[in-house]
Structure 1
Amino acid sequence: MEYNFQKIEKKWQNKWEKEKIFEVKEDLSKKGKDKYYVLEMYPYPSSDLHIGHLRNYSIGDSFARFKRMQGFNVLYPMGYDSYGLPAENAAINQGVDPAEWTDFNIKSIQQQQKHIGLSYDWRRMVYSHDPNYYKWDQWFFIKMYEKGLAYRQESYVNWCPDCTTVLANEQVLSGKCWRCSSEVEQKFLTQWFLKIREYAEELLDGLN
């Protein structure tokens, strides 16, 4: 017996969308279901999805479905980390406008995510290049600066010469950039820092 997985998957994906079964219900009553929030790292919309994205989002999707089966009212949104150098550099390499390139890739990624069958509440999309989103980033930063929690200082950073951007330690794999595999350099630059150590003890106490 032949198993036409594409036909069967499409059938159920259409049914899920039609019946809106993944749209979280806002129930403020005390008798409502217990709430659960599942959030994954948003992808950079600098190109299509790859196997690493599939691994990440299939795990999150499985967990969200598991919590629904346990009876939780699960909020499971998706968004795109679209306001940064990876997307801008990709657009420059393609010779296109960054906004057009980003919007095109977001639509492409959304189609891939729907094709995979990920159970997001698609009404709750977040785009970090949307002014209504990043204005709150700016507001938070200004408040931290006013409180003396944000400051500038020279320091060595992980620098990718091809991506022309600073990398976190987690983005350096065996001395290479996790995105393009270029050799990472140590560069002395003036950077913004946040005084997270000011809250180290308070954060640790909050774990108890």
Structure 2
Amino acid sequence: MDIHQKTRQFSGQLYKYTNVMKGWQYRFFTVDGSAGLLHYFLCEGEKPEGSTPRGSVHLAGAVICPSDEDSKTFTVNCASGDMLKLRAADARSRQEWVNGLRAVAESHTKAISATSPPLPPREHLAVLDAMGSAKTQLQNTEQADLALCRVLEAAGSTFINDPNLLLLKATSAASLHCLLQCYNILQRNQHQPARTGCPSIGKPQFLVILKMISTRS
């Protein structure tokens, strides 16, 4: 396992317990200390810059516990309710992972408590998860819109002279713009306190809108 204490970025191979049928599976894990996220990939080679991990969990509010069943296994119990059961190569490696993950979890738990006192960690992480999902879906939608534009423009005169294709391009662009505007509004609502006389979006409505963005995009 590679550990850099300054940035708390570390990575390495671990076994991840999936279920009774699949059992233990080898996965490549990385910790983003600045974001407080634990990512895992199918293998180390699957991790190009900017790629989407197979799974991610927030470490803020998480409880990391060595297992009593052996000297290699430990669990990551997340505030969101997710639980990862992991196994390192040996006892020393397990302790390095436990210490590193606990340090990141403690740091981000304190940060959440300092910046969002009224919001319990579980609810705060639900918002972070929803925002992350919406952002990913919007990025995919932007790519799809770009691909559509390229295909239509490659059609040349057929595209220019077909009102249905022109309408399709305009509708796609307008829908994407609307979704991006909604996402920006939600971001401002998430990070800025409500001003006097300005409407505020409550948490239930906030998550519902995020779900709608993810679904429609």
TM-score if structure 1 supplies the norm length? 0.26
Highest relative contact order (Cα 8 Å, sep 6+), 1 or 2?
Answer: 1
TM-score if structure 2 supplies the norm length? 0.25
Higher fraction of helix: 2
Greater C-alpha radius of gyration: 2
